[in-house]
Structure 1
Amino acid sequence: MIAETKLSVSQQDVRSFSVENGEPDWFTELRVQALEKAETVPMPVPDKTKITTWNFTQFEQFHVESSTYSSLNELPEHVKALIDLESENQNLYIQHNQTPAFISLTEDLKAKGVILTNIITAIKEYPELVKKYFMTNAVKVDEHKLTALHAALVNGGTFLYVPKNVVVEQPIQTVYIHDHESAPLFNHVLVVADDNSAVTYVENYISANEQAAGIANIITEVIAESNAKIEYGSVDTLAKGVTTYVNRRGHAGRDSQIEWALGMMNDGNTISDNTTQLMGDGSVSHSKTVVVGRGKQIQNFTTRITHFGKNTESFILKHGVVKDSATSIFNGIGKIEHGASKSDAEQESRVLMLSEKARGDANPMLLIDEDDVMAGHAASVGRVDPVQLYYLMSRGISRKEAERLVIHGFLAPVVNQLPIEAVKKQLTDVIERKVK
């Protein structure tokens, strides 16, 4: 199926969906105008990956109703495994396909003005806040066909807002279950930390059904206002039949900090864009990504951090393992704009290939338009170090177990950054399953 073919929905379909949801007029018009743009703007062109035969635009059903849960005890076992069921302080949102299935926010956070809700409810109940941030700074509607299509068809996601001077001590967790065999997921996550606030947000994308298929068009916007800190963790484990476009963007104000820890474990073809804009002086962003590719899947991961403010700092770390006939492309881009003096942009990309037919490319780039800065990069693509294997095997460990230990050690810098133990264990288990 060709990505450039005619869209599966019409403007009338989009308008009817928005009206049925009870969305305000401004958002209905945003949807309709975005669909118009989706019909004319081009597809994105990821470096070294041809996606013209990938299906991002054709689907039979746009919206399906799925299960909801009145208590944590009703959750499926694979979801329970991700959650601390013993904790009385649950800050949690669960979505089943496009249906809000469970939500819990502690009373003290509600009293402080923290908002955690699904994105469609937020559009209706907090229109001024959503309108201020929704695809205005981090991601623009008309960047390309997939961003425009996303704005037109968004049918799920989360809105998290932390007011000024509020520090959220416990992580906010979301779980997105996608198990439908045809309906697409257009998920929008909007996380805003206002001045002098702090929050940790962790999400899971899971396919409870191995037969799950279709399209996942995911956009995340992370906005850190002045002196705010956002720690963002994610583990993506969508099924082989799901073709995924995921765009996670950060927008950092003065003296703010955005930390990314991303476990990209999808089994289907995936295009990922993780971009952070360091707008304010003194802002910081560190992006850490771990990837495992297997089978015949094709994956492309671009991480870009652009420095606009003075005295800004960035670090990109990407570790990937590729096996079977899989292909994984890692593009790391550190950009320092003119005027961003005293800034520091560093990056490291490392790829392990576990089979002869596996392909891994690490492409570090530094684009520097300012003199008074620091910048550096490192990249490597190779196989498991025979010296490390020899050292372990000389102590009585089998070759298979030695390889397993080396791989886990190689991926540990990202795995260890996830703040929720159950999610960290999930990522470890997924890695174990995918590399064995």
Structure 2
Amino acid sequence: MNSTLETANEHLSANEPSWLAERRAAGLDRFKNLAMPTARDEAWRFASVGKLSIDNFNPVAAPASTTLDALTERSELVTTRAGRSVYVDDAPANFEGVSPELLAQGVVYLPLAEAIEQHPELLKKYFLKESTELGSEKFFGLHAATVKAGSLLYVPKGVEIAEPFVNYYWTSATRSAVFPHTLIIAEDNSKVSVVDLFFSETDANEALNISVSNIHAGANAHVFRKIVQDWNEKTVSFQLDTTVAERDAQVQNVAVNIGAERARFESQTRIEGPGADVKMYSLTVAEETQEFDQRTYQTHNAPNAVSDLLYKNALLNNARSIFSGLIKVAEGAQQTDAYQTNRNLLLDPTAEANALPGLEILANDVRCSHGATTGNVDEAELFYMMQRGISRRVAMQLMVFGFFEEIIEKIDNDELAENLRQLIHKKFESKIK
């Protein structure tokens, strides 16, 4: 951990504004002074914190130009887009800005470093203002102190953009530490879609990821974000996301989690305006000794709003998952409609799923529910398909893909949805026996 600290601010600009320097200093102070999580911490219940280490990971110098070019060429899961950024070990490899038409409408899509220089008031209002409350405050502090890679997407009032903005974050160097950041600001009556993708160059390069995403959806804004996490299985990953939804905003998050040795995903949703509707979907595939730790917080501070969460996990071998979610309804948030569901499919008897859904209701006119289910593959269904000439391996694959299709079909981009099916198939094809 100390070696990570030694280089935490090494590559940052000395010309950053004072407000950002203050936020970085506060983050570094938080990282230094907060203790590492332990098994006694409720926010880390069931997690293998004894195996969690961020020692000896460091930000690295810019990769070779040949690496930047090669990974840019591999960043093509979504070919029709409104803009694209590619980062390798937090170094910019490629940035496709917005079209002249969108630029004329006031749309801003910039690398963070340029956004800080060109739009300081916008960044001061939103950047690094929303921390996590779900247990990884220490790691958010390191992110705040170090972040330099990522993008700002600002969509003015009334602007609707059909094609998605796509951000790729790669790791390449050995023992690299990366701190990606996606900031989405959608003003009133706007519409936008964003895809964030996280990949490793090879199966061998060890890495630490502490990424942050913030969505601010104004009144009647429509925001759709897709997340694809496919790090290699030598990566430790923290993904700390927040969503703030104002009156009548519609926000949808779909996360597909495939990679990493240990991955923790903290998702906070705060509804601040009546009529808001926030959907949260997640699909996770874990194998071998992978561990996926999912913590969610749905906060309703306004009446007549909806939130709906569905997380599905499929676990092979000795893989583990933890789901801990809380729906909190404030005293004045009457007629809240909130749901939280976690479903786990165990493909081996040694796989393990832990679920802790919860409610905290301070209003008396609400409709809220939560639930969790964990089950094995239905042997009767397997037998039925095998009797019709389908091998056990293929039959199990078909059942698993049927289990996941409810999530994949939420994705509004056919090209991305099909590419995700292929990524999941690639992971399963050598593991299901």
Normalising by structure 1, we get a TM-score of 0.90
Instruction: State the shift of 1:422 in Å.
Output: 3.4
Aligned residue for 2:16? 23
**How far apart, CA to CA, are the structure 2 residues paired with 1:26 and 1:261?**
33
Residue 53 of structure 2 is aligned to residue 55 of structure 1: yes
Contact between 1:68 and 1:96, CA under 8 Å: does it hold in 2? no
Q: What pairs up with 1:276-425 in 2 under 5 angstroms?
A: 276-425=269-418
Give the equivalent residue in structure 1 for 2:5.
9
Query: 1:15 Cα deviation (Å)?
Result: 5.8
Separation (CA, whole Å) in 1 of partners of 2:288 and 2:134: 34
The aligned residue for residue 161 of structure 2 is 168
Q: Distance in 2 between matches of 1:15 and 1:434?
A: 36
**8 A contact 1:318–1:348 mirrored in 2:** yes
**What secondary structure sits across from 2:48 in the alignment?**
coil
**Residue identity opposite 1:372 in structure 2:** D
1:117 counterpart letter in structure 2: L
> Which shows bigger deviation, 22-31 or 279-288?
22-31
Contact persistence 2:3–2:57 (CA under 8 A): no
SS, match of residue 372 in structure 1: coil
Change (3 A) 1:141 1:301: closer
2:303 alignment partner, SS class:
coil
Deviation at 1:90, TM superposition (A): 4.4
**2:215 aligns to what SS in structure 1?**
strand
Check whether the contact 2:179–2:210 (CA below 8 A) recurs between aligned residues.
yes
Q: Residue 302 and residue 37 in structure 1: after superposition, are their counterparts in 2 closer, same or farther (change >3 A)? A: closer
SS at 1:349 equivalent: strand
**CA distance in 2 between partners of 1:193 and 1:67 (Å):** 35
What displacement does 1:59 show? 3.0
Distance verdict in 2 for CA 1:138–1:246, change over 3 Å: same
User: Equivalent pairs: percent with the same residue?
Assistant: 26
Structure 2: how far apart are the matches of 1:418 and 1:328?
23
**What is the one-letter code of the residue matched to 2:358?**
M
Indicate the residue corresponding to 2:179 in structure 1: 186
**Partners in 1 of 2:371 and 2:108 — Cα distance?**
40
Per-residue deviation, 1:311: 0.5
Aligned to 2:88: 96
Q: Check conservation: 1:308, 1:337, Cα contact below 8 A.
A: yes
Partner of residue 61, structure 2: 64
| Correspondence for 2:236 among 233, 243, 250 | 243
Asked if 1:428 is matched to 2:421, the reply is yes
Q: CA deviation at 1:199?
A: 0.6
Deviation at 1:16, TM superposition (A): 5.5
| Structure 1 unaligned blocks of 5 or more | none
Which residue matches 1:83? 78
Alpha-carbon displacement from aligned partner over 1:35-93 (angstroms, at most 9, x marks no partner): 1222112345423213244123x335323213569x9x96555323x132xx5x64211
Give ranges in structure 2 of 5+ residues lacking alignment: 38-42
Distance 2:2 2:164 in 1: 42
* Alignment deviations for residues 154-178 of structure 1 (CA, whole Å, 9 cap, x no partner): 1311111111111111111111111
Per-residue CA deviation, residues 288-333 of structure 1 (Å, 9 max, x unaligned), is 0000111112221112211111001111101110111111112232
Alpha-carbon separation, structure 1, partners of 2:290 and 2:379:
27
| CA-CA distance at 1:282 after TM superposition | 1.4
**Superposed CA offset, 1:368-400 (max 9, x none):** 121100012232111112233234334332221
Say whether the 8 Å CA contact 1:283–1:312 is kept in structure 2: yes
Structure 2 counterpart of 1:220: 213
Asked if residue 117 in structure 1 is aligned to residue 110 in structure 2, the reply is yes
Aligned-partner SS, 1:335: strand
- Residue from 11, 17, 34 that aligns with 1:41: 34
Once residues 310 and 135 of structure 2 are traced to their aligned partners in structure 1, the CA distance between those partners, rounded to angstroms, is 29
Cα separation, 2, equivalents of 1:320 and 1:30: 36
Letter in 1 for 2:377: V
Contact 1:41 1:142 in 2 (8 A): no
Q: Secondary structure at the match of 1:79?
A: coil
Conserved in 2, the CA contact under 8 Å of 1:155 and 1:185?
no
For the residues of structure 2 that align with 1:404 and 1:365, how far apart are their CA atoms? Answer: 32
CA contact under 8 A between 2:4 and 2:58: conserved in structure 1?
no
* Code of the aligned partner of 2:45: D
CA shift for structure 1 position 361: 1.8
Residue 141 to residue 338, structure 1, CA distance change in 2 (3 Å): closer
- Cross-structure match for 2:40: none
**Measured at CA, do residues 141 and 384 of structure 1 come closer, stay the same or move farther in structure 2, by a change above 3 Å?**
closer
Distance 1:312 1:130 in 2: 28
CA deviation after TM superposition for structure 1 residue 141, in Å:
13
Corresponding residue for residue 189 of structure 2 = 196
Question: Aligned pair count?
Answer: 423
